[in-house]
Amino acid sequence: MRVHGMVRHLALPTPLPAPQRRPRMIRRTVTRSRSRLALILGAGFLVLGAMNEPAAAQEEGSIKVEGPGSANFELAARFAPYKVSDLVHSLRVTPRWIEDTDRFWYEWETSDGRHFYLVDPGQGTKTEIFDNDQIAAELTRITRDPWDAQHLPIRAIRFTGPNTIQFDVESSQEEEVEEEEDEEDVEQDQEDEQQRAPRQPRTRNIVHHFEYDVTTRTLRELEDYEEPDSHPNWASVSPDTAWVVFSREFNLWMMSYEEYEKIIEARRGKTGDEAEEAEEDVEVEEIQLTTDGEKDFSWGSQGRGQNDEETEEEHKKRQPSGTTWSHDSRYFALTRQDRREVDHLWVVHAVGNTRPKLESYRYEMPGEENVTQTSLHVFDMESREMSQIDDEPWKDQRMGIFNEFGGFGGFGGFFFFGGGGGSAEPRITKWLSDSSDELYFWRRSRDQHRVDVMRADPATGEVTAVIEERLNTYVEHQSPARLENGDLIWWSERDGWAHLYRYAPDGTVRTRLTEGPWHVDGLMGVNEDDGYAVFRANAREEGEDPYYMHTYRVGLNGSGLTLLNPGNYDHQAVVSESARYFIDNYSRVDTNPVSALFDASGRRIMDLETADLTALEAAGYQYPETYQVKADDGVTDIYGVMYKPYDFDPAKQYPIIAYVYPGPQTESVSKSFSLNQTEQALAQFGFIVITIGNRGGHPDRSKWYHNYGYGNLRDYGLADKKAGIEQLADRHGFIDIDRVGIYGHSGGGFMSTAAMLVYPDFFKVAVSSAGNHNNDVYNANWSEKHDGVKEVKDSTGAVTSFEYDIDRNSDIAANLKGHLLLTTGDVDNNVHHAGTFRMAEALIRANKRFDFFIFPGQRHGFGNMSNYWFWLRAEYFVKHLLGDSQWNVDILELQGDQPKG
């Protein structure tokens, strides 16, 4: 029997069952209730664990996967997340639309290498852009670096004409970088020349630039190549390209486009810090527009670094202004955020610096008196005056501007390449209406029960309410589309399901575009010439998982609703700007992804691609299984996915582990093909791993379903998780209901710990990472929205303050019976580690043994320690659900086969 960790890696392509796996010990026993306490020094953390074995007895003769040697480390290592990703290539077509056309190109990778295709939907043609063998030979000849058809070095493709592209190839050879020095630097160098060693020249790899004719398939190197423009992200360019607005040191500034072109020229051919430094060295004439900005009450972004020192430096640089322009460039508008009274939160960067560094930031917590105050402003470019739109009916309301509609999951703009992290085209953001007399914006009450669509006249300041939404839970909204006659297409959940409405400019409903017990996810595109809208929706088609998305078309008068991409799959579509065509990427968790091209009538023009899973299947991959159970109410359908070990034996009994996320944004249950690398890898140790939904977990069903947990944010999803697992155990004899684990991250960390405390006799082991265990120290917007905040009114009915109360995990720490591992990153500035620390304190005061692990220098997602985290989490379940507690100080699956020393 091998000591835990002393395993040898196997070649990934080897099919099952060829690998020599660690032998499993199968016990045929009647288990008896017993408990022992152990103090164990674990891998880098102190384990104070109560080793409680299941009290419920198994039937005589049952086969349980448990005991020393039962965990299949070899199989799990083969399918570890950081290995599986190397076995999979392209899974979906991502179109790069060619400007002012419906044509697009895309890149597709298989085990044969990368291929590039040009598609003309109107002509119904798909053409491979390169003959890979030919282009590899030509690139080898020109660059003198060897290439072949499977390993093309092509990067940064951009169309410069209807059939002409340019691209780059990086050489293995280097060149010196010419560095310009100002006169002061030159004089100083001459003075110090005798006192220091010669400066070593800076080098970089040579980049070859090519132009290629797609029609004639001819290639030429561009000797006189000029790098494309690289527009920085701070530049808000007016639609007439006359002015550029930005923020610096808390105030608004602008420069003429002629001055701005000096910056573009200085950035040309440079990237990253080099591009930023180049623009700072350029002298340009700037005009200051505001003078009253200050820290935390800035006009536009004030910038933020990784710590306080960096933040102070960011203030001095040009920053995005957050401005949006009228189409005629007469005005620009923006919101201003006053955070001066919001309290600070802090993290300390203890690693990576000689001295630990402080990072402080404003952070609102639920129920606090001092929160961000938002105001709306318009600047008149003719008078050079700033005015405030006076609109504040609700205390602590939020506001935002509606910009020109860009599609929901639709075309999302065109593909432009620019160097230095910039865009090759200027960023021009225009407000929704094409009239300078109409600025559309939204306002939302702090309790989020009320949302209004407003219209302001910048010249007069007059404000009109166009659409009003009211709910007793919370109102969600999306950006509307505006038609040429001024009508708005608006998304609303007012009747309990999400649907589309067409509003006249006076605020009356002209017509409903959709209705019924199904969910519109969002508008994707509008074609006014042909009089229709394209949108995505789910839960309409009988006999399908209600979460499966489809693409639909409906007339702008509400007639002719048409399903465009039928099929019992989850369909993720990308629509062209004209809304005449779309690419449909579809699959289920148990099918190979397929991509096809459709037109807006639903005609399937052509199949584009099918994903190449050859290497994955050769390694022994098996698809997961979907299932459906009832919620704890016995009525509501709940959906999930089950992952089994690839050496699954139905005669054996396996522990079951649930990966959970409570929502309400999502249930983290995959619907389309996805590797779900953690779930599938964890199963290979010898577990049944599931994902499972719950009432209140997902917005893509009825509003009742989505808001089920409102006011009960800690406990609302737990009963459904438990009921679902019990039903699965009743169906499948291979599930051991006495060995139930649960894990999750962020909201899932909150939920997995809550499960251990609300149902302590059912859930035996939990691993909870970065959890918002105490939502009164999480961010105000999320907590107040999903759990509710109460308005406190005076005798006149005016709101004077807000009250917030929520159940915390720490309130019931005394309920813990099983094994619990808490983890957090020490610089998590999303879910602050204070919540995890308070949970730990409550457990200590309740005299409970538990496990605690801190990831130094890590944000919310644990970043570059994610591979370590996979093994730490997995081995915790292996120890406490399989009883395979053998241990080695080295995680050899990460370090190699031989121990150090």
Position 502 pLDDT exceeds 50: yes
- At residue 325, φ and ψ (nearest 5 deg) are -105, 150
Mean pLDDT over 776-787 rounds to: 93
Higher pLDDT, 43 or 201: 201
In a domain, 522, yes or no: yes
The DSSP-derived string for 158-204 is: EEEETTEEEEEEEEEEEEEPP----HHHHHHHHHHGGGSPPPPPPEE
**pLDDT value, residue 63:** 79
Q: How far is CA 395 from CA 294, 372, 792, in A?
A: 23, 11, 11
**What whole-number distance in Å separates Cα of residue 76 and Cα of residue 83?**
10
In a domain, 714, yes or no: yes
Residue 393 CB-half CA count within 13 A: 11
| Paired tokens of 501 | 């409405």
**pLDDT value, residue 405:** 87
**What whole-number distance in Å separates Cα of residue 349 and Cα of residue 857?**
6
Q: At what angle do helices 272-280 and 257-267 cross, to 10 degrees?
A: 140
> In this structure, are 541 and 571 located in the same domain?
yes
**What whole-number distance in Å separates Cα of residue 108 and Cα of residue 95?**
11
Higher pLDDT, 653 or 8: 653
State which residues form the domain around 169.
96-175+203-221
State which H helix or E strand residue 797 sits in.
none
**What whole-number distance in Å separates Cα of residue 145 and Cα of residue 136?**
10
Mean pLDDT over 165-172 rounds to: 96
Indicate the pLDDT class of residue 415, thresholds 50, 70 and 90. very low
In a domain, 135, yes or no: yes
> In this structure, are 107 and 52 located in the same domain?
no
Rg of the chain (C-alpha set): 30
Position 55 pLDDT exceeds 90: no
pLDDT in tens, 326-374: 999 999 999 999 999 999 999 999 998 789 999 999 999 999 999 999 9
Question: Is the Cα dihedral 601, 605, 608, 614 positive or negative?
Answer: positive
Number of domains the chain is built from? 3
In a domain, 847, yes or no: yes
**What whole-number distance in Å separates Cα of residue 367 and Cα of residue 664?**
20
pLDDT in tens, 260-279: 999 999 999 888 888 889 99
**pLDDT value, residue 407:** 55
Of the candidates 612, 631, 651, which is a domain's last residue? 612
State which H helix or E strand residue 106 sits in.
strand 104-110
pLDDT in tens, 870-888: 999 999 999 999 999 767 8
DSSP-assigned letter for residue 260:
H
Helix (H, G, I), strand (E, B) or coil at 879: helix
DSSP-assigned letter for residue 54:
P
> In this structure, are 664 and 739 located in the same domain?
yes
- At residue 584, φ and ψ (nearest 5 deg) are -110, 115
Segment among 108-112, 185-189, 298-302 with least mean pLDDT = 185-189
**pLDDT value, residue 373:** 97
**pLDDT value, residue 182:** 53
Of the candidates 577, 612, 647, which is a domain's last residue? 612
Higher pLDDT, 1 or 633: 633
> In this structure, are 82 and 159 located in the same domain?
no
pLDDT in tens, 886-901: 678 888 888 764 444 4
Of the candidates 612, 633, 654, which is a domain's last residue? 612
The DSSP-derived string for 112-154 is: TEEEEEEEETTTTEEEES--HHHHHHHHHHHH-S---TTS---
In a domain, 267, yes or no: no
**pLDDT value, residue 201:** 77
Position 740 pLDDT exceeds 50: yes
In a domain, 790, yes or no: no
> In this structure, are 727 and 697 located in the same domain?
yes
Mean of the per-residue pLDDT values of the chain: 89
Indicate the pLDDT class of residue 528, thresholds 50, 70 and 90. very high
Indicate the pLDDT class of residue 311, thresholds 50, 70 and 90. confident
Mean pLDDT over 372-391 rounds to: 96
pLDDT in tens, 441-490: 999 999 999 999 999 999 999 999 999 999 999 999 999 999 999 999 99
**pLDDT value, residue 180:** 60
pLDDT in tens, 126-164: 999 999 999 999 999 999 999 999 999 999 999 999 999
Q: How far apart are the first and last CA of the chain?
A: 23
> Within 10 A of 144 (CB to CB), how many other CB atoms are there?
10
Residue pair 397/799 in contact (Cβ under 8 Å)? The answer is no
> In this structure, are 574 and 651 located in the same domain?
no
In a domain, 648, yes or no: yes
pLDDT in tens, 541-586: 999 999 999 999 999 999 999 999 999 999 999 999 999 999 999 9
**pLDDT value, residue 894:** 86
**pLDDT value, residue 413:** 35
Position 858 pLDDT exceeds 80: yes
| Paired tokens of 863 | 């970043």
pLDDT in tens, 385-394: 999 999 889 9
CATH number at residue 55: 3.40.50.1820
In 556-703, DSSP assigns E strands to: 562-563, 570-575, 581-587, 594-599, 604-610, 625-630, 637-643, 654-659, 688-692
> In this structure, are 768 and 835 located in the same domain?
yes
In a domain, 270, yes or no: no
pLDDT in tens, 835-856: 999 999 999 999 999 999 999 9
> In this structure, are 147 and 52 located in the same domain?
no
> In this structure, are 606 and 557 located in the same domain?
yes
Which residues, at least 6 apart from 308, have a Cβ–Cβ distance to it below 8 Å?
A: 357, 358, 359, 360
pLDDT in tens, 241-253: 999 999 999 999 9
> In this structure, are 745 and 845 located in the same domain?
yes
Residue pair 279/263 in contact (Cβ under 8 Å)? The answer is yes
Higher pLDDT, 32 or 180: 180
Position 26 pLDDT exceeds 60: no
**pLDDT value, residue 418:** 35
The type of residue at 602 is: G
User: In percent, how much of the chain has pLDDT > 90?
Assistant: 79
Residue pair 191/156 in contact (Cβ under 8 Å)? The answer is no
Segment among 28-32, 355-359, 441-445, 660-664 with least mean pLDDT = 28-32
> In this structure, are 721 and 596 located in the same domain?
no
Position 408 pLDDT exceeds 60: no
> In this structure, are 640 and 758 located in the same domain?
yes
